[in-house]
Structure formats: C-alpha cells, structure tokens
C-alpha cells in the first residue's frame, strides 16, 4: 500500500487488512454483496441455513446437503447443563442479555458432538446452533419463566421464535426473521468480524474468537442501537409531532438513532430490504399504524438531517427498520442486539475459516508519540 512506518490511520480507516470472498460493501452506491449475491437477490429468498451454507462453502447447498446441514444443527441446539446453570445465575443478577450471551458463549466448547471430522467445524456447528437457544433461554429466565427446549422439526429462525413464546410461529413471521438474519449475516471487515479474525490469526480456538467478537459487537458504536431508534418513534407518537420533536433533538445537538452509517453515504440497502419485510409482517398482523408512523418519521428525519447537516449524507441505516421488524415479530428491544448476533455469528465463523485457510498473524504497527530521554529518579527523590 506504500504506507510509511509511522503514518497513522485513525480507526484503521482505508487500510485493507484482509482479502475475502464473503462480502463486499460499496457505501457510495449502496451496494452489499454476500458471497457473490447482491443482498436483494439473497436475503428474502434463502433460508438462514442456505445463506450460512453459502458463506461457509461458497456454494448454495443441494437438497441433500441442506437436509444434512439442518439435521446437524438440530442435533446441537440443546445447551450444555453448565451453560444453563450459568444463565440461571446471570438471570438472578439481572445481567443484560448481551453480557449473558458473551458469558454463555464461552461455555460452548462443552458437550460438542464430534462428527469424526475437523473439531473446528464441530465447534462451528455448535456455536451456530446454540446462539438462538442461549438468547431465548436467557430471555425467558429473565422474565421468570422456564426455558423452552428447541423444536427438532423447526429451522433456526422458526425455532428462535418458538423458544421465546412456546408457540409455532406463522409463516410470515418466520420469513421476516429469515430475511433479517440473512441481511445481517456478514458485512465486510466490521469491528466484531475484525476482532474474530485477529483472535483466530493467533491460532486460538473458534470459541475464543466468537466470544471476542461478541465483546466488540456489544459496544454501542458497533452493535448499534435499534432499540433507541424505536423508542424515539414511540416518543413521537404521531406523524404530526415528528417535525417539532426531531427539530428539538437536532437543535440540542443530539443524534437521531437509526440514521447515518460509517460506510453508507446513501440509504443502507439493508434498510430497504427490512422495510419491505416489516411491511409484510405488519400486513399479516392486520395493524399498519406503527409501520406508517415509522415511514413518516423516516421521511421527516432524512429531510431535516439534510437541512441541519448538509452534505453529510445521513441516510436511513439498518437499525431503523431492524427495530420495526423485530418489534413486529414480538421481540422486546433488549433482544434486538442478541438477535443480530444470532445472524452475524454465521459470518464471524466464515471469516475465521477464511483466516485459517491462508493465515498470517494480524499484527499492525503503532506510531510512538512519547518522549525518548527520561532518566530514572529514585523513590526518595520524587
């Protein structure tokens, strides 16, 4: 790249740190490619298992391969006793859901069924299968309810909704969640994915890499805040109040949650997909009130952001419609970030596999900016 040793790139912005076939983002044009597919071509057609198989194997599965993959996941969804015990302790302490997910993920190299093949692949299957079970079990424990065991006949998305409520979800709800999980399954070298690749590049284990990725994801600058984006809409309450509310927020210098992105300078293509998925979920539910309010708030917010911050291109991001869609599926706002992790863990694992295949330890340099000539002063003379 022609970088000098001491040149500093804050946040590593513009530094290419990996070559990948998994995903590509063009923020200027609003393009997201997932393993060769424009996200619009994949997200609302594939099951989550198909999208995951595509990332892991660089090809869509045949019917036989898909069935085998689904069966492998179904056999691994139940949590180890130690994981459940930890979640019960965490629930007593009312630990936030993302913290509980991080803690529980560290136990997932226990009770891993061996296939006789690569142990890392066995770990990958267990991580992918158990993430939804952890989130759902912990949520129910937090509410004072017993966890619901996974349903052996349901796929990942349907199982997650089933384990939260105990009821088999409607087809529209399953499709809505499948679309969401596929939409967030991978997104180039974001902070959590980079964290996973750094850890696995040391030849550490897969579980450690995924725990580190969760730690990065739970930071508010990365995992985002879809909950607050929806809270803002609830506070506004009606389309007629949107402009006054949003203007007051901007006048105070506050951020509008759900708008603006580090990469995208046009409307996030994932927001478009999730808006369409949300419309179908709310239509099936028979009440479009909240959906219509969200669309009205979005329109007003984008116009005011251009007025207050001209040229900044602060457009709708994935958080805004994540909130609307997941709320429409009956998920509490505290479950929004864990549900993101249920989808993104497939991408984290794919990046770990890719890093391992052509590994070089990720070890950037730092530019020293301290002094050079200090001399020791004995303790009595300080």
Nearest-angstrom CA–CA distance, 181 and 174: 11
- Give yes or no: 307 in active site: no
pLDDT higher than threshold 70 for residue 196: yes
pLDDT higher than threshold 50 for residue 376: yes
Q: Which residue has the higher pLDDT, 159 or 259?
A: 159
Q: Are strands 37-38 and 31-34 parallel, antiparallel or unpaired?
A: antiparallel
pLDDT higher than threshold 80 for residue 179: yes
Domains and CATH numbers, the chain: 15-364 (1.10.580.10)
Percent of the chain with pLDDT over 90: 72
pLDDT at 267: 77
pLDDT at 333: 86
pTM: 0.91
Q: Are strands 23-26 and 37-38 parallel, antiparallel or unpaired?
A: unpaired
Residue with tokens 């993959």: 69
pLDDT at 225: 59
Q: What is the pLDDT of residues 283-342, one digit of tens each?
A: 998 899 999 999 999 999 989 998 998 888 788 877 888 889 999 999 998 899 999 999
Catalytic one among 50, 187, 261, 351?
A: 261
Q: What is the pLDDT of residues 114-137, one digit of tens each?
A: 877 888 899 999 999 999 999 999
Q: What is the pLDDT of residues 51-100, one digit of tens each?
A: 999 999 999 999 999 999 999 999 999 999 999 999 999 999 999 999 99
**Contact criterion met (CB below 8 Å) for 246 and 301:** yes
Nearest-angstrom CA–CA distance, 355 and 202: 10
**Contact criterion met (CB below 8 Å) for 17 and 189:** yes
pLDDT higher than threshold 60 for residue 2: no
Of 105, 21, 52, nearest to 344 by C-alpha is 52
Q: What is the pLDDT of residues 201-259, one digit of tens each?
A: 999 999 999 999 999 999 877 765 567 778 889 999 999 999 999 999 999 988 887 78
- Give yes or no: 50 in active site: no
Nearest-angstrom CA–CA distance, 308 and 318: 22
pLDDT at 317: 79
**Residue 259 phi/psi, 5° resolution?**
-135, 140
Of 341, 328, 338, 344, nearest to 172 by C-alpha is 328
Nearest-angstrom CA–CA distance, 275 and 296: 13
pLDDT higher than threshold 50 for residue 3: no
Nearest-angstrom CA–CA distance, 4 and 86: 48
Of 48, 195, 74, 161, nearest to 126 by C-alpha is 74
Question: Which whole-number Å values give the CA distances from 186 to 41, 160, 175, 199, 242, in the listed order?
Answer: 15, 19, 19, 18, 33
pLDDT higher than threshold 80 for residue 191: yes
Q: What is the mean pLDDT of residues 332-354?
A: 95
């Amino acid at each position: 790249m022609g970088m000098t040793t001491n040149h500093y790139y804050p946040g590593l912005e513009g530094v290419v740190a990996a070559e990948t076939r998994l995903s590509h983002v063009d923020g200027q044009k609003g393009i997201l490619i997932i393993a060769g597919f424009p996200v619009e071509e994949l997200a609302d057609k594939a099951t989550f298992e198909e999208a995951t198989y595509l990332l892991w194997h660089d090809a869509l599965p045949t019917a036989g391969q898909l069935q085998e993959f689904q069966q492998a996941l179904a056999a691994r969804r139940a949590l180890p006793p130690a994981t459940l015990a930890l979640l019960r302790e965490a629930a007593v302490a009312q630990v936030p859901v993302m913290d509980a997910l991080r803690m529980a993920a560290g136990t997932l190299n226990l009770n891993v069924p061996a296939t006789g093949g690569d142990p890392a692949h066995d770990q990958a299957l267990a991580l992918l299968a158990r993430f939804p079970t952890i989130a759902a079990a912990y949520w129910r424990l937090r509410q004072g309810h017993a966890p619901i065991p996974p349903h052996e006949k349901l796929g990942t998305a349907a199982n997650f909704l089933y384990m939260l409520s105990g009821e088999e979800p409607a087809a529209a709800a399953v499709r809505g969640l499948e679309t969401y999980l596929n939409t967030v399954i991978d997104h180039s070298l974001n902070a959590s994915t980079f964290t996973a690749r750094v850890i696995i590049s040391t030849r550490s284990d897969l579980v450690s890499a995924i725990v580190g990725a969760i730690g990065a994801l739970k930071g508010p600058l990365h995992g985002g805040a879809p909950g607050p984006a929806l809270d803002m809409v609830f506070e506004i309450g009606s389309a007629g109040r949107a402009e006054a509310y949003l203007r007051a927020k901007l006048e105070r210098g506050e951020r509008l949650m759900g708008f603006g992105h580090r990469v995208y300078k046009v409307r996030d293509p994932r927001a478009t997909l999730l808006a369409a998925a949300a419309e179908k979920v709310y239509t099936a539910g028979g009440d479009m009130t909240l959906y219509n309010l969200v669309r009205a708030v979005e329109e007003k917010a984008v116009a005011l952001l251009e007025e207050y911050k001209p040229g900044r291109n602060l457009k709708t991001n994935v958080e805004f419609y994540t909130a609307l869609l997941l709320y429409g599926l009956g998920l509490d706002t505290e479950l929004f970030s864990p549900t993101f992790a249920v989808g993104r863990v497939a991408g984290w694992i794919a990046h770990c596999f890719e890093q391992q295949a052509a590994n070089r330890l990720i070890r950037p340099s730092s530019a020293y900016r301290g002094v050079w000539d200090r001399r020791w002063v004995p303790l009595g003379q300080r």
